Structure formats: structure tokens, C-alpha cells
Structure 1
Amino acid sequence: MKTIGFILFPKLTQLDLTGPYEVFARLPDTQVLLLSKTLDPVVTEKGMAILPNCSFAEAPQLDVICVPGGPGINECLTDEVLLDFLRQQSEQSAYVTSVCTGALILAAAGLLKGYRATTHWLSLDLLRQFEDIEVLPDRVVQDRNRITGGGVSAGIDFGLTLAATLFDQATAEAIQLMMEYLPQPPFDSGHPTTAPDAIVAQVKLTAAPYQEQRRKIVAAITSALATRP
């Protein structure tokens, strides 16, 4: 029996979690845990309440740990209880993973140093501020036992990649077919390299307040890391 654990925190982006969750919940002989400090409902970025089924204190050793992203990561970046939990679990976890800006949390915990990784396109430059991480603008990046997914919808691609890694390609393909995952987006605006300039500017403007706050937090973290002996 494999055990996969997702980290929950307030203001996470629910599809970062529920996309790969849909994949993992269909894997054979696999238990999926929703982990949080307490068992109180966790309210996502857009108001959906998700109920944890395991606390950090009661968590077993996980085979896979996965950190989603969202606006709420800003507070998580300096949450030592969360960061210590990730560090402890990562010592024996087979895979340490993230979706979207969850990669920044892994980086803040020191768990991406020496690895290649990706994150949401708005935060690629922030991930580059951490020492010794090769940042790639890819949909999914796998480097040894670190697997990171890009923004939001890339969580499904990430989930299928991990499914094939944990089991085999046929298992992942069967899940993909059952989910009828055959993306055919109505617009070609899923990445800043293809979206109209006006749309890119609009999205950047909307994200600017929490991105600026995040930039300051990351700068403080990386500055502190640089001064450690």
C-alpha cells in the first residue's frame, strides 16, 4: 500500500490539489491523505471548504508528499511548523513533489537545492532566487525523486507522470482515459508565450499585490539563507 499526502493550507488553489487527487485516488493499492495542522476545514482561494483527514502530528511516513500552490503560500513560506514537517517527511519519502507555486514552499524548506524544478509562470523568477535550483518553464519537471508541476491545470499532467512513475505507463494511460483527459482548450491563452499581450498584462496586474508581497518574503528568505554558515 502506497501513501500519498497532500498539504492543505488556507487560500490554496483547489485545482492544484483536486487535479492530481483525481488521478491518485484511482491508483491501485494507494491511500491518499489530506494533511493539515488540524482537522478543521481548510478554505481555498475561491471559498471551497476541504476537510483534512489527517493532522501533521498523526501522519504516517508518506511515500509521496505533494504541496499545492495558491495565494496562501505567502504565509506558508515562513511557517516553520509546515516547513519542518516537510523536511522530516522528505528524509524517507520516495518522492517529494509540488504543483504550481507549491514549489516555492519546497524551496523555502531547502528541498529543491541541487534539483531542476518548475512552478507557475508568474513565479518562475522567484524560484530562481533560491540557490542552486535549475528552473525550467516546463509543464512537468522530474529530477530524480523530485517532481514539480507548472500552474494549476498542469497538476493533472503531473499526476499522470507520477502515476506512471509509481506504477507503469499502462496504469497512467487507463486513468487518463477514464478521466477523458484530452485537452482541447477553446482559446490559445494558456501560457504568456501564446496569450495576447493585453491579456498577459491584465493577469499580471491582477496578480501584482500578492506577487509583490511574495517577492519581499522570498527576498528575505534567500537573504537569510545566504548568510548562514
Structure 2
Amino acid sequence: MKILIYVYDGMTMLDAIGPYEALRYMTNTEVIFVAEEIGGVKADSGFIDINVKYSIEDINYADILIIPGSPVGFMKEMNKEHVLNWIKEVDKVTKWTTSVCAGSIILAATGLLSGLKATSHWKPIKLLSEFNVIPTRERVVEQGKYITAAGVSAGIDMALYLSHKIVGEIETKAIQLTIEYDTQPMYNSGNYSSAGDDVLKIADRKLSKDAKKELGLLGMLKNSKNILKMIR
């Protein structure tokens, strides 16, 4: 089982690493990070890099493709025609094509999700409708071979959901135990529907601050006002 995780500058690191940590324990599985070009890929925080050994020119086959999200970086990726074409090419042979967080918007930009339901991070989820995709505020959404996950930590849930379909209940439970994925949050505020208005306002400010910072890191400041309008 070959799993490709497409990574790019400005992505949210856990969107990629969360699924990786779960899926790498599946029997007979190879997980590969692939980027537009070989070399360092910088996370949205600007402090963590991944050294990627394979480019999209090197690999166009996978059983599973995973596209992580980002606060702003996805906006740049969804406008790269060669990246979208690569996703569509890999999708021709995948058993599962998946995304985490705003990665679903990159996937939607390819046209592959047209007419289907999909989820994303609560902040940019409405952008899905611009690609004839039905925004759905659920943790994990399955539509045929397409599986989309909501924000950040939902990527681990998606990976375990996928593992269950591939290797079954017992091995997936063993994987969950291996990574000790036993979430017991202090507050019930990790979901858009359960967070109060005061919490949403503060979270929105934090995300907007991060988005402005990332726009600077990506050299997109001249487009910042338009981009921020789209993700509000």
C-alpha cells in the first residue's frame, strides 16, 4: 500500500503528520511525502521544515493520496495548474483520495469533488461551494473514494477511519493504541457547533492574525485583502 502525502509551504504540519503517524503503522504500507519540488517545505508557523525527497515529477502513482490544509497556503496551491493536474493524474489510480482541513479546497479546485459533499476547517469551509461542492460540517465525510476531514486533529480520525476500511477493526484499534490516541479534552469547544460566540470571535481573531503572518511568509501581501475576505 503506497500512501502519498502532498506537502507545501504554509501547510499546517499536523494535517500531514497526524495521518502519517497513524497510517505508517498499517501492515505493508509505505508513506511518502511529496512536494512540488525536492527540498525544504516550511510549515505555516514558519518554524518547522520537512525535508522532502520526492517531487510531483518523480511519483504519479498511489493507493492513497492525502492533501493537508493550511490557514492561507492552500489559496496558492489551488491556483497552480500543474499541481492540480498532478492530483487528477494520481487520482486516476488511487483507491482513496483524501484531504484534511482546507486541503479539501485544493481538492475541490481540481473539479474531482464537483456535486459531492465535503468538509473542511470551519473558517474557510464556505469556499467549497465555489467549486460546486456541498459544504458539510461533519468530522469526516465519505463520498465514494473521496474522504475529507475537518480541521487539523480530524486528520487522525480520518486516518483511523481509512485504516478500519483497509485492515479492519482489530489492527486499527492496535494502531490507535500504538499512538495512544485517547482524546479527553478539558473543554467541549473543539467543534464549530459547540463553541460559544465569544470563543468563536477569539478563535477567528487568532486565525486572522496567523493568516496575515503567513501571507507575509508566502510573499502574497499585495493580495492580502482579497484573500482575507475570502476566508472570513
Deviation at 1:49, TM superposition (A): 0.5
Quote the residue 1:179 is aligned against.
179
Percent identity between matched residues is 31
- Hey, what's the Cα distance between the residues in 2 that align with 1:154 and 1:74? 20
Does structure 2 retain, via aligned residues, the 8 Å contact 1:35–1:56?
yes
Q: Distance in 2 between matches of 1:81 and 1:159?
A: 27
* Contact residue 8 and residue 35 of structure 1 kept, 8 A: yes
Question: Conserved in 2, the CA contact under 8 Å of 1:103 and 1:119?
Answer: yes
Structure 1 segment 82-97 matched on structure 2, within 5 A:
82-97=83-98
C-alpha distance 215-45 of structure 1, shift in aligned 2 (>3 A): closer
Alpha carbons 1:6, 1:34 under 8 Å: kept: yes
CA-to-partner distance for each residue in 1:27-73, whole Å, 9 max, x for gaps? 11011010012221101011211111311111141111110000211
DSSP-derived class of the 2:52 partner: coil
- Give the conservation status (yes or no) of the 8 Å contact 1:3–1:32: yes
The CA distance in 2 between the partners of 1:44 and 1:100, in whole Å, is 14
1:80 corresponds to 2:73: no
- Please list the CA deviations of residues 105-150 of structure 1 after superposition, one character each: whole Å capped at 9, or x if unmatched: 000111111322111111221112221x232111111111001110
State the TM-score, normalized to the length of structure 2.
0.87
Task: Say if 1:87 and 1:109, in contact at 8 Å, map to a contact too.
Answer: yes
Distance 1:42 1:60 in 2: 19
Change (3 A) 1:53 1:171: farther
Note if contact 1:128-1:135 (Cα within 8 Å) is conserved in structure 2: yes
**Counterpart in the other structure of 1:167:** 167
SS in 1 for 2:186: coil
Could you give the per-residue CA deviations for residues 147-167 of structure 1, whole angstroms, max 9, x where no partner exists? 111000001100101111222
Q: Distance in 1 between matches of 2:27 and 2:20?
A: 13
Could you tell me which residue of structure 2 aligns to residue 152 of structure 1?
Answer: 152
Using the alignment, how far apart are the partners of 1:171 and 1:60 within structure 2? Answer: 28
CA deviation vs aligned residue, 1:76-110 (integer Å, no higher than 9, x gap): 11011211110111111111110000000000111
Contact 2:39–2:53 at 8 Å: present in 1 too?
no
1:194 aligns with 2:185: no
1:58 aligns with 2:42: no
Q: Over residues 143-199 of structure 1, what are the superposed CA-to-partner deviations in whole Å (9 max), with x where a residue is unaligned?
A: 110011100000110010111122212221110111111110112221232223222
When residues 118 and 212 of structure 1 are mapped into structure 2, their CA distance, relative to the original with a 3 A threshold, is farther
CA distance in 2, matches of 1:122, 1:217: 10
Equivalent residues, number: 216
Displacement of 1:15: 0.5
How large is the Cα RMSD of the aligned pairs? 1.8
Query: Structure 1, unaligned stretches of length 5 or more?
Result: 219-229
- The equivalent residue for 2:111 is 110
Long gaps (5+) in structure 2: 212-223
